[in-house]
Structure 1
Amino acid sequence: MPDSTRSPYLGPHVVGQRVVVRRLVPGQTGPTGGPAFTDVLGDCVAWDPCVVVTAAGDWVEIPLDLIVSGKPVPPRPSVRMRATVAECEAQVAGLWSSVTTSRVGAWQVRSSPAVPRRRANSCLAVVDPRMPLAAAVEQVVAAYAARDQAALLHVETGSDLAGALRALGCTPAGGEADFLLAGTGRALRAARAHPALVSPELTERGSAASGSAYASVSHGGACDSIVEAQATVTGEWLGIHDLVVDAGHRRRGLARSALAALLEWGAEQGASHAWLHVETGNLAARALYGSLGFAEHHRMEYLTPPR
């Protein structure tokens, strides 16, 4: 009989993990006349006997002496995590109504002098431009020159395309930031887990299909906000941006309260995906977003084309 205790891959330590288990099927023979085996894939919820819950919700109990082999396997990415980088980053232009876009091949040229953000004034270059790479870069430079702006490329850090652009003479311009994703409902539940000290004021703009909201908290009736954040809904995507907390009022849960208000608003608009960019060095913000269930999808950086 198989003895699973000899395998370093299976044991009580796999409880709570996604596993694939090969087991002997008693009383049956395989295609070659020998013993019959079958594989079970799912979440291990108990050991001795091994109990695996499949994606269909079936509970499969496997006596240890029938286990032939097995091992933990990586969890399947969520549907939102299977979105492409291009699909995720295409949401950026919709954050600000003043952003205009044009095309250089398959690249998106974004421009908005009214918004002092590099994301709003850079060319999104995360796919093959569908033309010679050098020609695409030249056209991007010309497009921004026509707007009296310096050209900037927004690329996925570590991608083959970013490497090819560097080989053409494009140089790093800093600004590395991670694109984080979360389920809107899950993030909202996590944000509500801590009682809010204040109720932010929420101002809505635009339509339900593609609108925006601004959450803020003022101190003692003063006009100046001590915390503010914005969000935009485009279809099922809720983009959160420009979260700012006054330095003298940090670590009081104000940011979490503002995010809860925006997440609730986004959920009401039908957004199922919540996303944002956070700079790689902003450890406090990353800790906050991580506590709400946001996970890294990819990392972005800027490149300056050669002049």
Structure 2
Amino acid sequence: MGKHLLGPHVVGQRVVVRRLLRGRTGPSGGSAYSDVLGTCVSWGDGVCVVQQDAPGSTGSVRIAIADIVSGKPVPPRPSPRLRVEPQEAQVRALALWPGLETQPLGDWVLRHSPTATARRANSVLAMAPSGVADDYEQVLAFYAGRTGRPIAAVLPDSAEDELFRAHGWVAESTDADTLFQVAGVAQVRRQVVARLRSLAPQPPAEHDEDGDLVTVRLGDRASGVAAYDRDWVGFRGIEVAPEHRRQGLGVAVVAALLEWGAERGATTAYLQVLGDNAPAIALYERLGFTTHHAYRYLAPPSVDD
């Protein structure tokens, strides 16, 4: 009926289809139309069948090919883990820091660790509007009695980034932005197992568990930490002794941490890496990780700046 880019070649692809609704009248008194978004599951005998995936829509729709007004393939729908907002993903990662002091500030989270010096454990998580009128002043007050110098974790070029910079804040260090990467546990396990098959046998992994947190060690050669929260397992502190690098020990640590998380029901794995750490990013991409979001740390200028 109309011009479109559809046909048998789009079976298995995600498409959007505008179709004529015969026998119905539109708001202006003319013909009525509707749009269908989903995966084309069949095309033939004059009918296109689309399995819907639009929000609020379920089931499949049979569309007479003669009634198609327009249509085209569209990008695949992002996986559920990629649809989680950055702030929510970061909140799940709080499990990696036991004993962390947290305090909500509207939709922000004030974080402080009495034992760890890492920025992730000692900064305000500000990746969405706080909804609090005096949020900036409360950040200053919270860290004044703890670290003495507040730090904010923000999304690049966001309203929160602009807010702190408007108060004179600058990059907390010369580090590149941090990448928060995610992957499906099953996918990463397949890649890890395949890589380990090509490597020499590794020493047995030692586990030191503390509730939903575990530290894995391969003797004194390599180690890493994982935490489980709401079907996500996250990693930090994956380290390999310099004299034992390039032997697959890092992959072996990831494998042990993944197995631990999978046993608890984790379906999503995540980790964080500096954006200029090309070797690590290349490894994680080969294992199936993809960047969920990037973020940076801002702080007031130090006295030496």
Give your verdict on TM over 0.5.
yes
Matches of 1:284 and 1:51, distance apart in 2: 46
Residue by residue, what CA displacement relative to the aligned partner does 1:1-54 show, whole Å, maximum 9, x if unpaired?
A: x365xx5x44677565311234568xx544379888665433346778886551
Q: In structure 1, how many angstroms separate the alpha carbons of the residues matched to 2:41 and 2:277?
A: 37
8 Å CA contact 2:43, 2:49 repeated in 1: no
Distance 2:37 2:142 in 1: 52
Query: If the length of structure 2 is used for normalisation, what is the TM-score?
Result: 0.79
Percentage of pairs with the same residue: 40
The answer as to 2:46 corresponding to 1:42 is no
**Correspondences of 1:118-267 after superposition (within 5 Å):** 118-132=119-133, 135-174=134-173, 175=175, 176-196=177-197, 197=199, 198-199=201-202, 200-207=204-211, 211-218=212-219, 224-225=220-221, 227-267=222-262
Match of 1:299 in 2: 294
The one-letter amino acid of 1:170's match is W
Q: What TM-score, normalized to structure 1?
A: 0.78
| Number of aligned residue pairs | 289
Distance in 1 (alpha carbons) for counterparts of 2:33 and 2:122 = 58
Gap change, CA 1:31 and 1:102, over 3 Å in 2: closer
SS of structure 2 residue aligned to 1:270: coil
Per-residue displacement from partner, 1:259-279 (whole Å, max 9, x unpaired)?
121111101112222222111
Structure 1 match to 2:25: 31
Match of residue 90 from structure 2: 89
Report the 3-state secondary structure (helix = DSSP H, G, I; strand = E; otherwise coil) of the residue aligned with 1:194.
helix
What's the CA shift for 1:281?
1.0
Cα offset, 1:106, TM superposition? 4.2
- Counterparts of 1:119 and 1:107 in 2: how far apart (Å)? 14
Which segment is superposed worse, 289-298 or 259-268?
A: 289-298
Q: What per-residue deviation string (whole Å, max 9, x for no partner) do you get for residues 231-290 of structure 1?
A: 011232211111123344444433222212111110111222222211111122222222
CA shift, 1:95, in A, is 0.9
Instruction: State the distance in 2 between where 1:173 and 1:34 align.
Output: 60
Give the C-alpha shift of residue 108 in structure 1. 2.1
2:208 is matched by which residue type in structure 1?
Answer: E
Instruction: Give the deviation of 1:217 after TM superposition.
Output: 2.4
- Post-superposition CA distance 1:157-215 (Å, at most 9, x none): 221221122122221224411112222233223322333433450313122xxx21222
Q: Secondary structure at the match of 1:299?
A: strand
CA contact (8 A) 1:230 1:262 kept: yes
* Structure 2 portions without partners, runs of 5+: 53-57
SS in 1 for 2:25: coil
Query: Using a 3 Å threshold, how does the CA distance of structure 1 residues 140 and 68 change in structure 2: closer, same or farther?
Result: closer
Indicate the residue corresponding to 2:279 in structure 1. 284
Is residue 54 of structure 1 aligned with residue 51 of structure 2? yes
Shift in CA distance, 97/15, structure 1 to aligned 2, threshold 3 Å:
same
The 1:277/1:52 distance shift into structure 2, 3 A limit, reads farther
1:63-107 CA distance string (max 9 Å, x none): 5x6643211223222222222222111123321213222344543
CA distance in 2: counterparts of 1:121 and 1:278, whole angstroms? 17
Distance 1:247 1:15 in 2: 50
Q: Which residue is equivalent to 1:72?
A: 73
Q: CA RMSD in A?
A: 3.2
Cα distance in 1 for residues equivalent to 2:261 and 2:11: 36
With 118-127 and 98-107 compared, the bigger mean Cα shift is at: 98-107
Describe the SS at the equivalent of 1:97: coil
**What SS does the corresponding residue of 2:129 show, helix, strand or coil?**
coil
**Residues in 2 aligned to 1:36 and 1:107: alpha-carbon distance in whole angstroms:** 46
SS in 1 for 2:149: coil
Partner of residue 107, structure 1: 108
Q: Distance in 2 between matches of 1:87 and 1:190?
A: 27
